[in-house]
Structure 1
Amino acid sequence: MTRFAAAGIRLVDRAAPPRTAPARHTLDPQETSVPGENLTRIEAEERAALVTAHDYDVVLDLTTGPETFRSTTTVRFAASAGASTFIDAITRTVHSVTLNGRELDPATVADGVRIALDDLADENVLVVDADAEYTNTGEGLHRFVDPVDDEVYLYTQFEVPDSRRMFAVFEQPDLKAAFRFTVTAPDHWQVVSNQTTPEPVPADEGTATWAFAPTPRVSSYITALIAGPYSVTRSELTSSDGRTIPLGVFSRASLAEYLDADYVFEKTRQGFAYFEAQFGVAYPFEKYDQLFVPEFNAGAMENAGAVTFTETYVFRSKVTDAIRERRVVTILHELAHMWFGDLVTMKWWNDLWLNESFAEWASTMATAEATEWTEAWTTFAAMEKSWAYRQDQLPSTHPIVAEIRDLEDVQVNFDGITYAKGGSVLKQLVAWVGREAFFAGVGAYFRKHAWGNTTLADLLAELETASGRDLSAWAALWLETAGVNTLRPEIETDASGTITSFAVLQSAADDYPTIRPHRLAIGFYDLADGALVRTHRVELDVDGERTEVAELVGRARPDLVLLNDDDLAYAKVRLDEASLEVAIAHLSSIANPLARSLVWGSAWDATRDAETPARDWIALVLGNIATETESTTLRTTLAQLALAATAYTAPEGRDDLVREVADTLWTLAQGAEAGSDAQFQFVKAFAAMAESSSHLDAVAALLAGDTTLEGLDIDTDLGWELLIALVAGGVAGDAEIDARLAEDDTATGRQSAAHARAALPTLDGKQRAWDSLVVASDAPNTIVRTTALGFQRAADASLLEPFVAQYFDMLERIWNDRSYAIAEKLIVGLYPAPLANEALADATRAWLDAHPDIPALRRLVAENLAGVERALAAQARDGR
């Protein structure tokens, strides 16, 4: 699965049930309740020791109304004779439960979350007939009504534990089985699952039934159902084993005109050829559909043969090159999962990192080597690694191989460690064992464990065999410890500027003191004819707290010294004082985009760590950003610029700095190349920072067409961004939002309207937004997300002060009453972070001190606090 903000808006009928539920049956006579929707690792291990799942027949009737659908599941499984266990089934109503021909009383054995199974035989047949609920949270079977044509669209999202929202299932990755789906739906729909879609058979008037062939043995979380009047474009390719693999690209009918299916097919073919050649294993499934679905929580999901993507990747308006490249990486990320995750699957969620890190690394490698996006590793450095470094410095950081005690642990573990740090460390592992040996080991791993479940040890064993290297020490240092090291140069020179001593110093956080070995390069850069050019490079192993680099002694000190040149290591890097001064003045003249990205990242890390004042970072950006050519570097840096200006600067000088930043962004937008990605990004960044009357006048003139920039089209989505800026600035309101929504009453339009209304700079406006999410509980996932974005947009942060007490009052109730996807969005999105003051920090600490018993919830709140504490430290440094 790819972590990425989703798009699309539409109110639908019901939210997912809460994670806790009242128990009507006790699975153990000594217990008084079942643990709601949570599942512990111990429970999963105990169940796997008792049960072997064979196959599921799942019969679904999607014609029973807008709130529920009929789900009848027949499960065949082996068990220890006489044993007791349970099957997962989140339902509204259980009509009947039959075990080996015995009718069980649903009121006794089913509590809406689990069904108790006692006195099992060696071989068992279980039939569960139930009503399950559609959701509007992006979990389970999500139901969406398109405001353009009132058509209904459905899709599933099952990772981590949500196939149980559609059918009765042993919901854990190591109980693989074959799944056969039979679906009755309106006869004009497309119905897609993991296997090739069969010809429908007419049922009642206006409906039809699709009977799919059984899947191979797979985990339940990668099964899928997507249904509705989707528009489809079809193609095919030939696999390395000679099979013809049918391809499909799907979107809602109202978006079909914007979907560039041929380009998606092109990237898919490039990915197939690349992965089949590198892995030495043919694509394992019989077809490959890619479906762009509404109101999706993530970037994409690796359902076997039926990958779902966020509709953000259907470009109805201009997007940055960064987003275009990200779509390619996402396409290849999910394709890599067909082997790593779907063919071979982790035994338990503590190896989730391996699934995601492998896909992250493999998709970046494939993007750089098989597509036109050849600077993908620069993008990786600018975005993924900055995400990893940020996550690795939170109080919630954890080893890459995390301890996953239960489902709530894994839900919050889709983070920068699991994806980006893991991908970075795998990149190091490839260098350590050798690329040829790495791919040979991976191919052997796929062949040996096909259709099975594994642990990290299984992969390392194959890599050790292929490379001849013992990886136990490497795994202990990099996978079993947390935290990121910091590397900085220590340079001494004589009066002539000749280096007399050069050392690399390594440090670690006090709480995570591991000092690790790093393979890295050191680059020397000198100014020549106005350009910073690399004049020398040395590659070496760094280990311990101090590593002398004798071969650099006697060389002339360059203008800029860059540790970790070429981004080989996973570590934060500092520039020495002289190099930082050169970078501030001449960063834009570094020709190599990866080197520029590393300098940007180093300077930003020092700012986040309050080692250098935020005003220096702002000066670096404003002086060098105009010529940055890499879209993701530009996008990331502009976001960091906004954070630095609004949260990391000393409060007493902040207003002036914010105005200076906005003034400069507008000047940059006006001076950028017509129609360029930079022009587009500068305009968007300027609108997000616009606060003064002159800035808002400029935004209004752009939106009205009174001011034009050559090559810039104020299209639908950019128009919404400009209007949101005017609303946040207090010069537009509900009337203007209503007028624009009348022109764009689409899913994306409703999402933007929700964002705009929540951005109103009045206490009444903020309270209205708050109540729409906290008091009411029917908002779908994308409305929750975009309303929260607008709520946090406050040039006058004092508007959010009344919500501090409300925030902490609602936390436990929201955590208990809402589904995880919604609870997380509310807990993160409604935290009044723009206040960034001691009062907010104190209130957060007080809540944490008073609530020690909900680890997953505490993690989210503690991460919120960490952001405030970092801002306070940066403000203090900037004020000195």
Structure 2
Amino acid sequence: MSLTLDEARRRAALLADVSYDLALDITATDTFRSRVTVRFDTRGGDTFLELHQAEQLQVTIDGDVVTTGYDGRRIPLAGLAPGKHEVVVDARLRYVADGEGLHVFTDPVDGERYVGAYLGLDATQRLFACFDQLDLKSPITLTVTADPAWTVLTNALPITGTAFAATPPIPCDQLVVAAGPYHSVRWEHRGLPMGWHCRRSLAADLDRDAAELRQVTELCFDHYAEIFTEPYAFDSYDQVFVPELNWGAMENPGCVTVNESMLPRGRVTDDDRRRRAMVIAHEMSHMWFANLVSPVWWEDAWLNESFADYMGFQVAETAAGFPGTRVSFEAAHKPGAYLADRRRSTHPVAPVAEDVPDVATGRTVFDEISYGKGNAVIRQLVTWLGENDFLAGVNAHLTRHRFANATLDDLLSALDAASPRDVHAWAGVWLRTAGHDTIRVTRRDDGVPVLTRDGVRPHRFTVTAYTPELAPVGSRLIDLEAEPVTLPDLAGLVVVPNSHGETFARIALDELSSDAVANGLADLADPLVRAVLWATVPIERLLPGQLPRESSPTLVTAALNRALDELVRRRSVPGALEMIAAACVPTGEPDRQLALAAGLARTTTDIALLRRWLDVDATDLGVPLLPDLRWAVVHRLAELGGIDAPGIESERRRDGTATGELGALTALAARPSAAAKAQAWTTMTGDAGISVRRFGALAAGLWSPSQRELVAPYIPAYLEVSPGLARRGSAFATAVGRAFPALPLTAAELELVREALTGDVPTVLRRRWMDELDDRDGGAAHSLSDQDQPGGHGTAGKV
């Protein structure tokens, strides 16, 4: 039972002045105590609190203990008189292993226990009884009873011990608790307490990076203090590397949680550092967009994420000192957004509320449209409006709705007032309409290039010209609307539209430009232009000749991931693995070697090479293997039959961390034997308490394109059991969807998927299966494309 839009609207109209006084006791190891006092005003009538699977429940309303019709999810509050009320809900709840609720983790390195409240959609009710919706923002006062030796972190500063000050009004899903023997690095900046925290066993890694983490935090904070007129609204700023977080990071006010993958063991690559700086900038921008001003309902979640994703890449690139961050967006994120926008499940960047009828559907809009496309569309808006007018509108919006909720129309009105341009009309074609345009380069008979647009959106972007030998000639910003743009001074030259990625549109190059790029892409000096072109020209044209010469590790990794996804998983191109392996020659500077070695480790059939790398713990040119790369080598060796269970166990013990535990599970499941597959499948589906991480690790090893005969029987079995597994919760449903068979499927197997979709499939899983069908059987080609609809803009598909 997921909260519906109609229910949320009725409850919001009924209630006001909600506040929570929450006490958690996390000293026991099987269940925890959650006692919350909820105070609110009401117009009178019936409503309900949400609380998931509580035990030993006691409910008091205005001082009287009551018997409720609690059904395991909702506590009815019937016949309330108009006025103020106080409800006390005391219960015991179970810890979780799926990252939604009060998550518990035991560190295999030292046996230490960590407890974290990771909340989000439909998850706050797994921690305490609440009105679990965005537009009932409330102050929350928290007290935590925990091991006195532990550090306890939350959204506010402690008053005494682990009793914390009340937060400003925030959506209840943004509460956070991180408790355990954390290692901390603390300081003050502009009078604000700040800190970075990690598990005790990761202390050396945090200390290694502490100076950089502090510098990036301060640079981002100073930048936002300069561009936003509203001051930072919370009393501290902590950032915590927490174990087993389902997201890359979560923007909890004053206490951001960050996935531990961003604190890598061993050598930290430049890509690691750029990605981490982007995440820091992304989550900090949420302190304004999401926390200070929040959406009313989940249809506007895109605005939080699109704005933050744009700010994350932009601020990391321009303010935090990490040039090349935009390259990673163009190469690794934007192509997935184009693919998502061609599926049946595409939707407008900004859907209307009625297109998100319940919270379960809200979960599905945290996708490539909201992040990748939304980021690109916000960048186009800034380019089209100008940064000054954009920020003037944003600041007016933030001030007008401080500590409140607001809609897209509220933001558009503020932007419209700050700009002479018609922002509402712009939003109609860019935000309220699904699909994307195509920008085409054609040639007149005299060789003059002409730019045209298939679609209805106005575009402002950079055009860059090169000689046929790809020597740079120059760049300029142009506007393209309904009328073609003729470029007579660029006759006979290679032309690259949107070369700096300012807009979101597919690019169709003319034959002269396409051939020149296919033959010499790696020779272009500007990595941003190369990033745009790697995503424009068919990957099989570029891979053999250009990947071995590509100097950017960022672009190497993005190209390899695209090739594996497109040529192996989606299109089943014969000989694709061999072609990819042949292009991966690990030479050059260390980061480039590691990127190419990762591609080779996933595709080679050379057991001797992989064994040699393991034996010396380095590539053939002596670059040490990072832990993730070492486990990729072990995984591939296991697939090829080059390492047995004792060898994998030896690697697990050598690693000794939680990452090693998961890597060993993947490798064991990847072994080419019926017994190994049966064991993995039984553990995945038969263990009711399996964590999301362990389930995903086993699935990663189970499916292998080279082991079709072994794994084919599990395809119908997967389709049969998955709906039941997905009902454990949205996080588990996401993991089950990601566990879709990662190998080419026959027509008969695809038909089995279609048949399964006619049954009762949970929303999150249904969306994933539909997308897999589109990617594999040409369904995306049958969705609304640029040519299918008048004006090339399409309409939203239903999920």
* TM, length-normalised to structure 2: 0.94
1:812-853, Cα deviation, whole Å (9 max, x unpaired): 32233x111112211221x224123322222222223x2377
Return the match for 1:85 from 47, 68, 86: 47
Moved more, 210-219 or 782-791: 782-791
Match of 1:658 among 577, 584, 588: 577
Other-structure match for 1:252: 199
> Residue 495 of structure 2 aligns with which residue?
561
Does residue 688 in structure 1 map to residue 602 in structure 2? yes
Structure 2 equivalent of residue 58 of structure 1? 22
Match of 1:338 in 2: 287
Alpha-carbon separation, structure 2, partners of 1:833 and 1:191: 40
Match of 1:571 in 2: 505
Match of 1:709, SS? coil
Distance apart, 1:350 and its partner CA: 0.7
Residue matched to 1:635? 557
Alignment partner of 1:863 is 2:797: no
1:708, CA displacement in angstroms? 5.2
Deviations 1:429-484 (A, max 9, x none): 11222211111221222222111110011111111122233311111111111112
Q: Residue 580 of structure 1: CA displacement?
A: 1.8
5 Å-filtered alignment, 1:809-828, equals: 809-816=720-727, 818-828=728-738
Q: Deviations over 1:586-620 (max 9, x none)?
A: 111111111111111111xxx4xxxxxxxxx3341
Q: Measured at CA, do residues 117 and 580 of structure 1 come closer, stay the same or move farther in structure 2, by a change above 3 Å?
A: same
Paired position in structure 2 for 1:373: 322
Distance verdict in 2 for CA 1:87–1:272, change over 3 Å? same
For 1:661 and 1:427, the matched residues in 2 are separated by 33
Query: Per the alignment, do residues 855 and 129 of structure 1 end up closer, same or farther by CA in structure 2, a change over 3 Å counting?
Result: closer
Q: 1:472 to 1:776 in 2, by over 3 A?
A: same
> Which residue of 1 is the match for residue 424 of structure 2?
472
Aligned: 1:796 with 2:744: no
Q: Provide the residue aligned with 2:122 in structure 1.
A: 161
1:320/1:680 contact within 8 Å kept: no
- For structure 1, list consecutive stretches of 5 or more residues without a partner in the other structure: 1-35, 201-209, 239-243, 508-513, 608-616, 875-880
- Partner residue, 2:37: 74
C-alpha contact (below 8 Å) 1:587/1:596 kept by paired residues: yes
Q: What SS is found at the alignment partner of 2:706?
A: coil
- Give 1:729 shift: 0.9
Q: Is the 8 A contact 1:792 1:833 kept in 2?
A: yes
Q: Work out whether residues 833 and 868 of structure 1, in 8 Å CA contact, stay in contact via their aligned partners in 2.
A: no
Which residue is equivalent to 1:172?
133
1:595 aligns with 2:529: yes
Output aligned runs, 1:701-716, within 5 Å.
701-705=612-616, 709-716=620-627
Deviations 1:562-597 (A, max 9, x none): 122222221011222232221121111111111111
Question: Residue 229 in 1 paired to residue 181 in 2?
Answer: yes
Alpha-carbon distance between aligned partners in 2 of 1:274 and 1:582, rounded to the nearest angstrom: 41
User: 1:860 and 1:719 mapped to 2: Cα distance?
Assistant: 30
Where 1:127 maps in the other structure, the secondary structure is strand
Distance in structure 2 (CA, Å) of the matches to 1:422 and 1:371: 22
Q: 1:744 aligns with which of 655, 665, 670?
A: 655
Is the CA contact 1:618–1:644 (under 8 Å) kept in the aligned structure 2? Answer: no
The one of 390, 402, 413 aligned to 2:339: 390
How far is the alpha carbon of 1:856 from its aligned partner?
4.1
Tell me which residue corresponds to 1:623.
545
Is 1:808 the equivalent of 2:711? no
- Paired letter, 1:410: G
Q: Is the 8 A contact 1:647 1:871 kept in 2?
A: no
Contact 2:265/2:626 (<8 A) preserved = no
Is residue 570–residue 775 contact of structure 2 (8 Å, CA) maintained in 1?
Answer: no
Q: 1:111 aligns with which of 71, 90, 108?
A: 71
Are 1:39 and 2:3 an aligned pair? Answer: yes
1:322 to 247, 260, 271: 271
Q: Secondary structure at the match of 1:860?
A: helix
Structure 2 CA distance for aligned equivalents of residues 690 and 491 of structure 1: 42
The one-letter amino acid paired with 1:588 is A
Asked if the contact 1:696/1:729 (under 8 Å) is kept, the reply is yes
Give the letter for the 2:343 counterpart.
L
Q: Could you tell me which residue of structure 1 aligns to residue 402 of structure 2?
A: 450
Deviations 1:67-109 (A, max 9, x none): 211111101100013x11001111331431111122211xx42
- Is it true that 1:543 corresponds to 2:471 in the alignment? no
1:672 corresponds to which residue?
588
Q: 1:377 to 1:72 in 2, by over 3 A?
A: same
Distance, in Å, in 2 between the alignment partners of 1:87 and 1:714 is 51
Identity of aligned residues (%): 34
Q: Is contact 1:286-1:305 (8 Å) kept? A: yes
Aligned residue in 2 for 1:832: 741
> 8 Å contact 1:672–1:679 — kept in the other structure?
yes
Give 1:120 deviation, angstroms: 1.3
Q: Which secondary structure state, in structure 1, belongs to the residue aligned with residue 743 of structure 2?
A: helix
Task: Give 2:588's aligned amino acid.
Answer: A
1:843 aligns with 2:757: no
Q: TM-score, normalised on structure 1?
A: 0.85
Q: For residue 565 of structure 2, what is the amino acid of its counterpart?
A: L
Query: Structure 1 486/119 Cα, relative in aligned 2: closer, same or farther at 3 Å?
Result: same
Local SS of the residue matching 2:769: helix
Question: 1:372 Cα shift?
Answer: 2.2
Letter in 2 for 1:683: A
Q: Could you report, residue by residue, the CA deviation over 1:793-822 in whole angstroms, capped at 9, with x for unpaired residues?
A: 342333321112112211332233x11111
- Kindly report which structure 2 residues correspond to 1:181-220, keeping only aligned pairs within 5 A, or say none: 181-200=142-161, 210-220=162-172
Whole-angstrom CA distance in 2 between matches of 1:841 and 1:147: 40
Runs (5+) with no aligned partner, structure 2: 783-799
Measured after TM superposition, the shift of residue 518 of structure 1 is: 1.8
Letter in 1 for 2:193: P
Aligned residues: 776
Pick one of 311, 318, 339 that aligns with 1:362: 311
Report the counterpart of residue 763 of structure 1 in structure 2: 674
- By how many angstroms is 1:555 displaced? 4.6
The Cα of 1:538 is off from its aligned counterpart by 4.7
Q: State which drifts further: 831-840 or 703-712.
A: 703-712
Q: 1-side partners of 2:695 and 2:619: how far apart?
A: 34
Task: Report how far residue 113 of structure 1 moved.
Answer: 1.0
Code of the aligned partner of 2:265: R
| Contact preservation (8 Å) 2:560, 2:580 | no
Amino acid at match of 2:433: T
C-alpha distance in structure 1 between counterparts of 2:14 and 2:779, whole Å = 51
Q: Decide whether the 8 Å contact of 1:728 with 1:759 is kept in 2.
A: yes
Structure 1 89/555 Cα, relative in aligned 2: closer, same or farther at 3 Å? closer
C-alpha change, 1:344 and 1:858, in structure 2 (3 Å) is: same
**1:100 corresponds to which of 58, 62, 82:** 62
3-state SS of the aligned residue for 1:516? coil
**CA distance 1:490–1:307, change in 2 (3 Å):** same
Instruction: Name the amino acid aligned to 2:773.
Output: L
Question: Quick one: which amino acid aligns to residue 409 of structure 1?
Answer: T
Secondary structure, aligned partner of 1:787: helix
Q: Which residue of 2 aligns with 1:483?
A: 435
What's the CA shift for 1:213?
A: 1.2
Equivalent-residue separation in structure 1 for 2:719 and 2:185 (angstroms): 49
